[in-house]
């Protein structure tokens, strides 16, 4: 039966690799200004901001027109009996009717719905792959409260069977984060859910890195239990501030070094520190902060701390009490990645409400539905539906078209990729899902999933269900129920 399956290795053979580098601003930008003579002599120390570059290349695609579907454009708009044209890996046109080449593959979308691909802003797939065994536990470096030097991508196992299950649920992009045991957990990475032999082959080209931080119970429990700091919420903030102060000093040294080089003056480069290098990237605005935080008061404390040290929180994750400060988060332009109804499993999660997401939306905030779970990622459309229903029951009337922003455009904003994906707009990546019914219905499922215009999953075609090499010959091989 293996010959009829679209295996990972077979998919890889469809296209060659291409390297897409990303150069950060900040230190790298300053280095680029170094004096020509010093550079010619090889005396300028330049830090490679992208030492593990993306080798992702879109799979082959064909020009495709979906006709007669209900389209949610991801920006809050809805088109009945609409059309969408994908060509060359991009979205070319979306509307009531669009012009398409005569040789375009036409898909009948009558009775079906089209949306942007789902983006999960909080996942640990790959770092905590299936099967769940200790040998696969690579998501938390629980050896110290500050581990900003570790990168989630270095623990990602591309053959994780959870990736293809998420793809079958309409998920096209995920952010893989380190866990929340540490105050500074390390760098995150954004991946496209394409079969690949390496992490680099999945890596979203041009996506900025993130820094995972955590406040509240987890760090103080993990390290207080070992008799070391932090053992309290006071200790959390104190150690955070102490670390940011060190990062500021580190950045000042490198800035001073590059300033001298630019002037043609003799300068000795500071010693490199991978832990502080990540934090300096945050201070330069190149790395986005994703902060695990439940309680409203702690989120407010973190916001003040970010202003003290001159960085910005891009998103609070979980934000179970986000509804209490929805106006503050909206004012500060901070996204909140939340569950629909998870609460009560620990004290800081006790005061959760089912209306959290719609309250955040109603306040003008950037509301996101996230999973933080390999099963939940397979039903994110249903999680959004639960939140939508909870809001409507208390009089917050949000349309389905608006609510889809929680699953695509808003997480794209939080990941710094909204200019490339997250909505159905001309010129953006053709990350598209065709649902066999209303995606807010528990009875609907993803029928077809395209990433960069390439059809990578088709519920009606067993040959179009990617299977990792690890799964071949095992029970449940390719299962996508």
pLDDT score recorded for residue 99 = 97
Which pLDDT tens digit goes with each residue over 173-194? 999 999 999 999 999 999 999 9
Q: CA-CA distance, 105 to 81, in Å (whole number)?
A: 18
Using the predicted structure, report yes or no on whether residue 386 has a pLDDT greater than 60.
Answer: yes
Strands 90-95, 171-176: pairing is unpaired
Residue that the structure tokens 């009337």 belong to: 397
* Distance of alpha carbon 404 from alpha carbon 129, whole angstroms: 28
Asked if 452 contacts 61 with a C-beta cutoff of 8 angstroms, the reply is: yes
* Other CB atoms within 10 A of residue 401 CB: 18
The H or E element containing residue 328 is helix 326-331
Is the pLDDT confidence value at 40 over 70?
no
* Rounded mean pLDDT, 436-451: 98
Handedness of CA 310, 146, 338, 440 (dihedral sign): positive
Q: Which residues does 30 contact at the CB level (< 8 Å), separation at least 6?
A: 254, 255, 258, 259, 262
pLDDT interval class at 478 (50, 70, 90)? confident
Q: What is the pLDDT of residue 41?
A: 54
Whole-angstrom Cα distance, residue 286 to residue 208?
7
Query: Where would I find the H helices in 196-323?
Result: 217-224, 233-262, 274-283, 296-309
What pLDDT score does 28 carry?
40
Say how far apart CA 183 and CA 144 lie, in whole Å: 9
Tracing tokens 């429990």 back to the chain, one arrives at 221
Round the CA-based radius of gyration of the chain to a whole number and report it. 23
What's the CA gap between 48 and 45, in Å, rounded?
A: 10
Per-residue buried b or exposed e for 417-455, using 16+ beta carbons within 10 Å of the residue's own CB: bbebbbbbbeebbbbbbbbbebbbeeebbbbbbbbbbbb
DSSP codes, 393-462:
HTT----HHHHGGGTTHHHHHHTT-TTTSSS--TTSB--EEEESS-TTSTT--EEEEEETTEEEEETT-G
Cα angle for residues 22, 10, 53 (degrees, 5° grid): 10
Closest of 50, 205, 185, 49 to residue 122, by C-alpha: 185
Q: What is the pLDDT of residue 233?
A: 98
Q: Which helix (H) or strand (E) holds 214?
A: strand 210-214
Q: Which alpha helices (H) appear in 265-295, and where do they start and end?
A: 274-283
Tens digit of each residue's pLDDT (9 = 90 or more) over 284-294: 999 999 999 99
**Model pLDDT, residue 139:** 97
pTM of the model: 0.91
> What residues pair up with 232 in beta bridges, in sequence order?
none
Instruction: Return d(Cα 371, Cα 166) in angstroms, integer.
Output: 11
H helix or E strand, kind and range, residue 392: helix 380-393
Query: Which segment of 14-18, 377-381, 406-410, 444-448 scores lowest on mean pLDDT?
Result: 14-18
């Amino acid at each position: 039966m293996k010959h009829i399956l679209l295996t990972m290795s077979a998919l890889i053979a469809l296209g060659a690799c291409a390297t897409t580098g990303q150069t950060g601003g900040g230190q790298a930008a300053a280095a680029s200004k170094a004096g020509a003579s010093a550079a010619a002599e090889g005396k300028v120390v330049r830090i490679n901001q992208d030492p593990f570059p993306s080798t992702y290349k879109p799979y082959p695609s064909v020009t495709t027109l979906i006709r007669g579907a209900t389209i949610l454009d991801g920006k809050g708009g809805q088109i009945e009996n609409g059309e969408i044209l994908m060509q060359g890996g991009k979205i070319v046109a979306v509307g009531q009717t669009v012009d398409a080449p005569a040789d375009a593959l036409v898909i009948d979308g009558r009775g079906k719905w089209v949306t942007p691909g789902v983006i999960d802003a909080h996942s640990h797939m790959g770092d905590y792959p299936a099967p769940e065994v200790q040998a696969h536990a690579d998501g938390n470096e629980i050896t110290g409260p500050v581990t900003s030097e570790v990168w989630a991508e270095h623990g990602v196992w591309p053959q994780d069977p959870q990736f293809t299950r998420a793809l079958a649920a309409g998920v096209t992009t995920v952010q893989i984060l380190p866990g929340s045991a540490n105050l500074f957990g390390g760098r995150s990475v954004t991946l496209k859910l394409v079969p690949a032999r390496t992490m680099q082959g999945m890596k979203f080209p041009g996506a900025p890195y993130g820094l995972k931080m955590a406040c509240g119970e987890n760090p103080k429990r993990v390290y207080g239990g070992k008799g070391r700091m932090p053992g309290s919420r006071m200790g959390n903030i104190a150690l955070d501030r102490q670390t940011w102060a060190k990062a500021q000093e580190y950045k000042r040294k490198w800035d001073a070094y590059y300033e001298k080089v630019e002037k043609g003056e003799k300068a000795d480069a500071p010693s490199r520190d991978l832990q502080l290098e990540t934090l300096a990237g945050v201070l330069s605005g190149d790395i986005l902060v994703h902060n695990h935080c439940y309680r409203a008061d702690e989120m407010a404390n973190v916001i003040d701390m970010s202003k003290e040290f001159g960085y910005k929180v891009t998103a609070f994750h979980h934000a179970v009490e986000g509804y209490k400060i929805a106006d503050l988060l909206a004012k500060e332009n901070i996204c909140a990645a939340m569950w629909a109804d998870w609460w009560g499993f620990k004290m800081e999660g006790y005061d959760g409400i089912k209306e959290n997401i719609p309250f955040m939306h109603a306040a003008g905030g950037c509301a996101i539905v996230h999973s933080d779970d390999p099963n939940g990622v397979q039903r994110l459309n249903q999680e959004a539906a639960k939140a939508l229903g909870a809001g409507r029951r208390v009089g917050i009337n949000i349309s389905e078209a608006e609510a889809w922003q929680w699953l695509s455009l808003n997480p794209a904003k939080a990941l710094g990729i909204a200019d490339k994906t997250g909505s159905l707009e001309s010129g953006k990546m053709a990350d598209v899902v065709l649902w066999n019914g209303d995606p807010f219905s528990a009875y609907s499922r993803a029928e077809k999933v395209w990433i960069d215009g390439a059809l990578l999953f088709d519920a009606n075609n067993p040959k179009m269900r990617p299977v990792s090499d690890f799964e071949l010959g095992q029970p449940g091989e390719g299962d996508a129920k």
